């Protein structure tokens, strides 16, 4: 029986066959720098639809992997769409004089908010000078003095008449520090107690009666004084109001002429007019806050004084006056609740927190109103209350400002309740696919608010007609990154690395961030080599250095094998032992490592022991693969007898978790070797999963696995027999490093594809696996015939054991 020779893959099959000859340019400087958004047509169309859709609830979720250029493409499309949209309205908050805790929101045409604010500043500054001037004017002084004189004359006349009547009764009204007192007189002199007591009783009674009458009249005069004073104040206030009205009306009319067609502004100015007239005394306060009568000192910047903040205009959204079109595109990097919907700030005064409408601050939704708002989904979801607030605003169509403390009832400070602002913003969320699928599954509001998904591709086909377009994308990356152009050979090297990044020689990655990183590192090495353009050697150097920086743990792992701390054979043969391959992922770096997998078999009750599973080191996928092996053995060999096998499988010197089914083919081959007694060539390692029919299935990380075993073999010395068996389905995924390709080309290392388990048996044992003939038996001395024979022996041994056990039990 002759052994089946391995069919080694040629070096040309170990990666994408892309060379400088595939391009019609010398360097990328010859290519246009803006090739468009290559390979992202589906996502671009969705974003454009979101940008152009007039219905408000067609917000979009942009999903894809980081580095695919999602934010850049979204921003470019939205910027282009925003140019053709009209400027959104301005929004301001003003004082509600009837209910100061409920500030009013006013919508203004674009560019009018700052004009209104400046007009109100000018109004207050003018009135702060005009109103005191009015009260200092000769007209006001004359009219005020006339009122004062009128009331003074009336009071004096009333008192004079009272004094005359008292004098006619021989009674004197005297002023004292405590007020007025009444006393009798005799011969023009005020009576002393002694003189009064010396008078006859009849005369004293006459004097007492006159004093009582005079006291009553004095009391009446004094009682009428508050009424006269009230009337006096009323006339003064009426005069002040008239004077203030004259100044206010003239100033307000000037502001009204500046905004002739804005009903909201006209209504607001009417309330301002009424309040200014009513509170004209505010303009007569000294710098220290005390009232200085009608003559305040002249000051500057009156609008900034605390007493005039009630007339301020708080601009929430203000467009430039000279802009004629264009909607805002806002990217909020920190979407906290306050940064999203706005916030109300507080100031500490006398130990208390106070606020007013001028301390209302806008959020990203205000700034993006009428345009587009771009948010990172993970950032919104991780900020407390932000996601809930965003949904509420989109659902209600308005922006209502509130604080977290108010929402959670954590503070009792009196706050504001500003008018909500109508929301007309298209929100674009950018996140990963897991975020989109989780929100779709767990949040019932999500599908109603974000009806469009823009799914970014991770890769594109490496079709020959698309290579030049891809090179154009690289040219655009070089321009953006500020690097040298690439030579055609450098582009070919970068495209080969691009296929490796996708894990598929027929696909090119669309992770532009990673490509940009490689280009900038290659530009660094090109600078050191004095190259005007990035060459293939510069790309290779950059890739080598990137791998070298991240490979410390790989080198330690391989060193443990080469120093025989971890036992791995790379030559010779052994029964029930095989080299399986696995991939370790450390951060962003993955590397392959061979593991010794062994199998032991004996007669038993049909149990296949997975030591990894029994020790809880094996994951569910690994356990599934082991159960598939059990199914294959039970249905392929000795089907006419019960399974009488006890077998154990283990990854030797493995002390961490094991998952995945990529070692299932190796496990099955180790079992077959143990059952058949046929040794396995240790010069090979194998990777691949197997199904219940013995077909070899594709696995992941094939490049790293091959390179991991190759590096061990190279460190010990390549013999020409060493190699790796991989699934046939993985050949298209090969994108091996140059060191492996060179070894295969030199014939010192082999890579063998396999489609069925029989292919692996033939390569690893050098013997025919054997196929059942027309009589249902395997060829004599074939590997499969030996396995079946051993299982029949186990079944016979088990029957004999059971019969003996029953006889012994019956005898006893």
Name the strands in the sheet holding 189-190, side by side, starting at the edge strand that comes first in the sequence. 171-176, 179-186, 189-190
Element (H, E) at 452: strand 452-455
By the 8 A CB rule, do 424 and 449 touch?
Answer: no
For 46, the token pair is: 């969705």
Reduced to 3 states (helix: H, G, I; strand: E, B; else coil), residue 809 is: helix
Catalytic residue among 662, 683, 689, 758: 662
For 789, the token pair is: 């024979």
Is residue 662 annotated as part of the catalytic site, yes or no? yes
| CA nearest neighbour of 85 among 320, 427, 372, 452 | 372
Distance from C-alpha of 338 to C-alpha of 159, rounded to nearest angstrom: 69
DSSP 707: H
By the 8 A CB rule, do 510 and 456 touch?
Answer: yes
Full DSSP string of 213-276: HHHHHHHHHHHTHHHHHHHHHHHHHHHHHHHHHHHHHHHHHHHHHHSTT-HHHHHHHHHHHHHH
Burial code (b: 16+ CB inside 10 Å, e: under 16) for 678-712 equals bbbbbbbbbbbbbbeebbbbbbebbbbbbbbbbbb
By the 8 A CB rule, do 494 and 469 touch?
Answer: no
By the 8 A CB rule, do 597 and 581 touch?
Answer: no
For 796, the token pair is: 């016979």
Catalytic residue among 673, 676, 705, 782: 705
Give rounded-to-5 percent helix, strand, coil for the chain: 50, 20, 30
By the 8 A CB rule, do 550 and 525 touch?
Answer: no
In sequence order, the 6+-apart residues with CB closer than 8 A to the CB of 728 are 696, 753, 754, 755
- 490 forms beta bridges with none
Is residue 705 annotated as part of the catalytic site, yes or no? yes
Number of H helices, E strands in the chain: 27, 30
For 567, the token pair is: 């036992």
Torsion of CA 657, 661, 665, 666, to 10 degrees: -10
Which phi and psi (to 5°) does residue 533 adopt? -135, 150
| CA nearest neighbour of 789 among 678, 627, 667 | 678
**Which residues are identified as catalytic?**
662, 705
């Amino acid at each position: 029986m002759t052994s089946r020779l391995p069919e080694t893959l040629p070096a040309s099959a170990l990666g994408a066959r892309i060379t400088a000859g595939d391009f019609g340019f010398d360097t990328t400087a010859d290519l246009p720098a803006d090739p468009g958004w290559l390979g992202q047509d589906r996502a671009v169309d969705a974003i454009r639809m979101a940008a152009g859709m007039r219905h408000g609830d067609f917000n979009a979720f942009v999903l894809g992997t980081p580095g695919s250029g999602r934010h850049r493409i979204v921003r470019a499309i939205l910027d282009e769409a925003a140019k053709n949209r009209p400027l959104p309205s301005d929004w301001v908050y003003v004082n509600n004089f009837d209910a100061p805790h409920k500030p009013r929101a006013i919508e203004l045409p674009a560019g009018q908010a700052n004009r209104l604010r400046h007009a109100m500043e000018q109004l207050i500054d003018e009135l702060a000078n005009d109103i005191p001037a009015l009260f200092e004017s000769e007209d006001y002084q004359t009219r005020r003095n006339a009122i004062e004189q009128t009331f003074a004359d009336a009071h004096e006349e009333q008192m004079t008449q009272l004094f005359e009547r008292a004098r006619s009764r021989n009674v004197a009204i005297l002023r004292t520090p405590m007020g007025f007192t009444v006393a009798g007189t005799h011969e023009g002199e005020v009576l002393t107690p002694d003189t009064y007591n010396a008078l006859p009783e009849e005369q004293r009674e006459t004097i007492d009666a006159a004093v009582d009458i005079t006291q009553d009249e004095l009391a009446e005069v004094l009682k009428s004084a508050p009424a006269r004073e009230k009337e006096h104040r009323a006339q003064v206030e009426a005069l002040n109001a008239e004077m203030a009205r004259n100044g206010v009306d003239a100033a307000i009319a000037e502001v009204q002429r500046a905004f002739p067609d804005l009903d909201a502004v006209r209504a607001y100015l009417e309330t301002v007019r009424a309040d200014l007239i009513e509170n004209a005394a505010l303009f007569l306060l000294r710098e220290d806050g005390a009232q200085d009568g009608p003559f305040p000192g002249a000051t500057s910047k009156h609008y900034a004084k605390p007493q005039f903040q009630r007339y301020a205009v708080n601009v929430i959204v203000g467009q430039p006056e000279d802009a004629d079109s264009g909607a805002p595109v806002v990217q909020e990097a920190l979407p906290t609740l306050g940064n999203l919907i706005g916030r109300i700030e507080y100031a500490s005064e006398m130990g208390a927190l106070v606020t007013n409408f001028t301390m209302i601050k806008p959020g990203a939704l205000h700034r993006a109103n009428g345009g587009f708002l771009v948010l990172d989904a993970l950032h919104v979801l991780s900020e407390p209350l932000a996601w809930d607030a965003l949904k509420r605003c989109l659902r209600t169509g308005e922006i209502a400002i509130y604080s977290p403390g108010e929402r959670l009832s954590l503070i009792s400070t009196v706050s504001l309740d500003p008018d909500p602002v109508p929301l007309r913003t298209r929100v674009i969320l950018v996140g990963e696919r897991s975020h989109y699928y989780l929100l779709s599954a767990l949040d019932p509001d999500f599908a109603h608010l974000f009806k469009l998904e823009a799914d970014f591709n991770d890769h594109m086909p490496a079709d020959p007609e698309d290579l030049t377009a891809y090179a154009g994308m690289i040219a655009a990356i070089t321009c953006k990154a500020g690097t040298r152009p690439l030579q055609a050979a450098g582009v070919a090297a970068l495209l080969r690395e691009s296929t490796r990044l996708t894990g598929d020689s027929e696909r090119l990655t669309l992770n532009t961030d990673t490509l940009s990183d490689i280009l900038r590192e290659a530009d660094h090495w090109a600078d050191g080599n004095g190259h005007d353009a990035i060459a293939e050697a510069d790309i290779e150097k950059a890739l080598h250095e990137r791998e070298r920086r991240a490979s410390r743990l790989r080198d330690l792992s391989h060193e443990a094998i080469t120093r025989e701390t971890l036992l791995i054979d790379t030559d010779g043969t052994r029964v029930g032992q095989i080299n399986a391959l696995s991939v370790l992922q450390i951060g962003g770096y993955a590397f392959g490592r061979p593991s010794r997998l062994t199998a032991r078999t004996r007669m038993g009750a049909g149990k296949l022991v997975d030591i990894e599973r029994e020790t809880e080191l094996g994951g569910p996928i690994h356990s599934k693969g082991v159960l598939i092996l059990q199914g294959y053995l039970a249905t392929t060999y000795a089907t006419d007898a019960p399974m009488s096998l006890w077998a154990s499988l283990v990854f030797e010197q493995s002390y961490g978790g094991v998952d995945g089914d990529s070692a299932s083919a190796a496990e099955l081959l180790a079992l077959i070797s143990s059952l058949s007694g046929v040794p396995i060539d240790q010069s090979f390692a194998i990777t691949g999963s197997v199904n219940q029919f013995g077909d070899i299935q594709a696995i992941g990380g094939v490049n790293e696995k091959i390179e991991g075993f190759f590096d061990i073999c190279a460190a010990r010395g390549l013999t020409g027999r060493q190699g790796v068996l991989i699934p046939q389905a993985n050949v298209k995924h090969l994108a091996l490093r140059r060191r492996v390709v060179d070894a295969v080309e030199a014939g010192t290392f082999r890579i063998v594809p396999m489609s069925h388990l029989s292919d692996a048996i033939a390569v690893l044992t050098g013997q025919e696996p054997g196929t059942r003939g027309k009589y249902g038996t395997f060829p004599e001395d074939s590997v499969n015939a030996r396995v079946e024979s051993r299982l029949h022996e186990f079944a016979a041994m088990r029957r004999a054991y059971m019969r003996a056990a029953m006889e012994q039990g019956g005898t006893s």
